[in-house]
Structures are given as C-alpha cells and as structure tokens.
Amino acid sequence: MELLLILLLLGNFHLVVPDIQGDALFDLRTSLKASPDQLTDWNQNQVNPCTWSKVSCDSNSNVLSVSMSFMGFTGTLSPRIRVLSKLTILSLQGNQITGEIPEEYGNLSSLTMLDLESNQLTGKIPSSLGNLKNLQFLILSQNNLEGSIPDSLSSLPNLTSILLGYNNLSGQIPDHLFQVSKYNFTGNNLNCGFNNTHPCASSSGDSSKKSMAGIVIGVIGGVLGLLLLGCLVLFLWRGRHKGYKREVFVDVAVALRLLNLIPPLEEAFSFLGTTILSLALIHIKGSSRKLVLLKILANPRLTVKKITDSRRIRWHAVASWTWDAHDETCGICRMPFDGCCPDCKLPGDDCPLIWGACNHAFHLHCILKWVNSQTPQAHCPMCRREWQFKE
C-alpha cells in the first residue's frame, strides 16, 4: 500500500514542480517593486505564465515577449530572467528603474529588442550584450549610464538601431556602430558631432523630413503653376462663346483705318512688297471685345477670322498636410506623428501633438500618461528637463 502511494506521488510530481519561467518573471516583478494593484494576475501557482498580462508566449508555452512600459516601477532589474532562452522582446521603457543592467542579460540569446529607455539606470553598458547575435534594436537612451561603449557591440550582425543618447557615456565610439542604419549618441561625451568625423545621430530622419518637405513644396509649386497657366489661358481665350466661325473680307484701306481705333499691337508687323512678315493678336474696340487674328494677305483684301468657339477649363487643387515637428515619431510610443498614438484609431485633431517648453513634441495622450507616471515632478522623456507645457 505504501509502495503504491509513493508511485502515485512520483507520477504526479511534475504537476507541482515550480515553473522556471514563471519564477523568473515573478522575481522580476518583485525586484521592480510593482505595487499590489499591478500585475495582479501573476500567479506563481499556475503551470506557466502564458496567461499573465504583459507576457506573450508561443504555442509551446515559451515566453517570447515581456512589455511593461510606463508603469512607474522604481526597483531594479532581476538577473534571473536569463533563463528565458526564447525571449525576443524585453521592453521596460518609461519607468524609474534604478541600478545596473545585469551582465546575465547577455544570456538572452533569442533577444531581438532590448528597450530600457527613459529610466534611471546607472553603471556601464555590459559587454556581454555583444553575445546577443539576434539583437536588432538596442535602446538605452535617457538614463545615467557611464563609461565607454563596449567594443563587443560592433560584432552584433543584425543590429539596425542603437540609441544611447542622453547618458553620461564617454570615450570612443566603435567605428562599426556608425554604419548602423539608425544610431543616436547625442548628449554624451563621445567622439562625435562638432569638430568630429561622424555626426552623433544618423541622418535618415533628416533626409526623410527633407524629402517630405520637398514633396510638399513640389505639390504647392505644381498647383501654383497650374493656376498661373490657367489664368494665362483664360486671359488669352476670354470672350469666347458658342457659335460658328465665319470670315469677313474688307478692303485694305478700311482695315488700315480700323487699326487706328485698335489699342497697340502685341507684336509689330510690316510689309515687304507682298510678303507677310508677322501676325498680330489684337483687341477690337467695342462692347463685344472679341479676340481676332489679323492676317495680311498678298492681295488687297484683309481676312478677319473671329474666334467664336468657347471652352471652359476647370482646375482642381490638391494638397497634403503634416505636423510641423522636429522629429517624425513620438518619443514615447514610437508611432509617427502623421499617424496616431496607440489609444487612437485615426490621426488628426482627436490625436494632436503637444509641445513642451523644451520644444519636444509628443502625442497628447502619450505625454499625459507619462506625466501622470512621474512623481513627484515630471521630466521631459527626451531631454530630462522639468516638463512644462508650451504656452
């Protein structure tokens, strides 16, 4: 009887074994100092954490993504999440996390995006991050990181965006990082910018803004050109009306007397024997003000062709609009200003831009969330200056 009981216990032992992923995430929740009313569905007694909020998994119950941005965490980062071998996205942007970035994060071999922007992290950037061969986005801007940029980051083969702006970094930037599609090292004491070979930020954003400005200017110029052309055509062809063409023949002498009543010709004409030297477009005095073409022929007669056909041309102007901001994307939600924030469905007046006294712009809903999450005093997510709405 005792042997049977032992076998039953052993057979069901896997049901009570703690889940490694769940324990690691729960330890992260504890170290971040989440409040009691946050992440309330994170239950350690569950088989796996795939039903927890802010967590997503694949079909095999492997944790793929942990996104907990702008939740007001004030704790530190837990090194225990190194066991999440399938984790691809770790986003903790816009909190007040302190301490250092654990070296153990270099074990997250499947990671493609590490976003720790706008926190209060200190210490150096771990050289172990150079082991993340699948990493595409490394976003550590607006922290208090110091020291030099590790040379190991140059060996990341898939890196397309590295944003390290507004820290306390110093020293030399590895040359290979200037070849990344999008980079930003602004606001540090690094070898870039004025009096240096490389700029501190990639020019992709500036070129796209210039191209957008070029498109707008081109559209406006095209519309103005069409309007001017339309005015010219209407001026030359005014007075035309429906009817039929006819020819009226008069003596040359009569025609010459008629010319004395006509305003100055637009083009001068003269005679050389019986050869025609030029034609002239003129207006005949009178109430009708019809446009006529005088054609001097080689015989003593004058042909006057009345242009009676009338046509109306309609012009339709086309234009486009865009927000006049220094950047193309919101620094909080990463969505383009010409679009809308995650809380809205359509761009426009329902999702306007708001400027701070520091001239940085954000979606209205994004900056309100950010301000409400900052205690006791809110700071600009971009430059860390005290936030004040621009009047």
Evaluate whether residue 233 is within a structural domain: no
Which range scores top for mean pLDDT: 144-158, 235-249, 254-268, 353-367? 144-158
Q: Give the three-class secondary structure for 303.
A: strand
Does some domain include residue 314? no
Looking at the fold, whether 326 and 282 belong to one and the same domain comes out as no
One domain for residues 120 and 188: yes
**Residue 281 counted as domain residue:** yes
- Whether 9 maps to a domain, the answer reads no
Percentage of residues in the chain having pLDDT higher than 70:
69
What are the tens digits of pLDDT across the range 296-352? 333 334 443 433 334 444 444 555 667 777 777 887 888 887 778 887 877 766 778
pLDDT number for residue 188: 94
288 and 328 share one domain: no
The verdict on 278 and 329 lying in the same domain is: no
Residues 286 and 331 in one domain: no
| Distance between CA atoms of residues 386 and 380, nearest Å | 6
Q: Is pLDDT at 212 greater than 70 in this prediction? A: no
Max mean pLDDT range (13-27, 165-179, 209-223, 345-359):
165-179
Does residue 278 have a pLDDT over 70?
A: no
Q: Is residue 71 part of a domain?
A: yes
- Find the helix or strand (DSSP H, E) in which 254 lies: helix 252-259
- Tokens 């119950």 locate to 61
Nearest CA to 106 among 75, 92, 85, 121? Answer: 85
Q: Which two tokens stand for residue 87?
A: 């984790």
Residues in the chain: 391
Region 33-41 average pLDDT:
93
CATH number where 31 lies: 3.80.10.10
- Per the model's pLDDT, the better-predicted residue between 36 and 364 turns out to be 36
Average the pLDDT over 183-211 and give the result.
77
Q: Three-class SS of residue 293?
A: strand
Average pLDDT rounded to a whole number, residues 8-19:
47
- Residue 174, both tokens: 């590895």
Q: What is the 3-state secondary structure (H, E, C) of the chain?
A: CHHHHHHHHHHCHHHCCCCHHHHHHHHHHHHCCCCCCCCCCCCCCCCCHHHCCCEEECCCCCEEEEECCCCCCCCCCCHHHHHCCCCCEEECCCCCCCCCCCHHHHHCCCCCEEECCCCCCCCCCCHHHHHCCCCCEEECCCCCCEECCCHHHHHCCCCCEEECCCCEEEECCCHHHHHCCEEECCCCEECCCCCCCCCCECCHHHHHHHHHHHHHHHHHHHHHHHHHHHHHHHHHCCCCCCCCCCEEEEEHHHHHHHHCCCCCCCCCCCEECCEECCCEEEECCCCCCCEEEEEECCCCEEEEEECCCCCCCCCCCCCCCCCCCCCCECCCCCCECCCCCCCCCCCCCCCCEEEECCCCEEEHHHHHHHHHHCCCCCECCCCCCECCECC
Q: Are residues 161 and 34 in the same domain?
A: yes
% of the chain beyond a pLDDT of 90: 42
- Do residues 167 and 37 share a domain? yes
Q: Residue 340: which CATH number?
A: 3.30.40.10
- Identify whether residues 154 and 246 lie together within a single domain: no
* Nearest Cα residue to 162 out of 118, 121, 201, 199: 201
The residue out of 306, 329, 363 marking a domain boundary is: 306
Q: Is 365 domain-assigned?
A: yes
| CA trace torsion 272, 273, 277, 279 (10° rounding) | 130
The total of structural domains in the chain comes to: 3
- Is pLDDT larger for residue 133 or for residue 233? 133
Is 350 part of a structural domain of the chain?
Answer: yes
- pLDDT range class, residue 248, cuts 50, 70, 90: very low
Tell me the residue range of the domain where 141 lies: 17-201
Q: What is the mean pLDDT of the chain?
A: 75
Residue 98 forms part of a structural domain: yes
> Stretch 49-67: mean pLDDT, rounded?
93
pLDDT band at 282 (very low <50, low <70, confident <90, very high): very low
The domain boundary, picked from 306, 331, 365, lies at 306
Shared domain for 262 and 152, answered yes or no, is no
Residue scoring higher pLDDT (89 or 293): 89
Phi/psi-derived region of residue 327, left when phi > 0, alpha when psi is between -120 and 50, beta in every other case:
beta
Q: Over 90: is that where the pLDDT of 10 sits?
A: no
Closest to 64 (Cα-Cα) out of 74, 72, 53, 56: 56
83 and 163, same structural domain? Answer: yes
pLDDT digits (tens, 9 = 90+) for 130-177: 999 999 999 999 999 999 999 999 999 999 999 999 999 999 999 999
pLDDT band at 214 (very low <50, low <70, confident <90, very high): low
288 vs 47 pLDDT, higher one:
47
Strands 353-355 and 361-363: antiparallel
Same domain for 368 and 294: no
Q: Are residues 169 and 249 in the same domain?
A: no
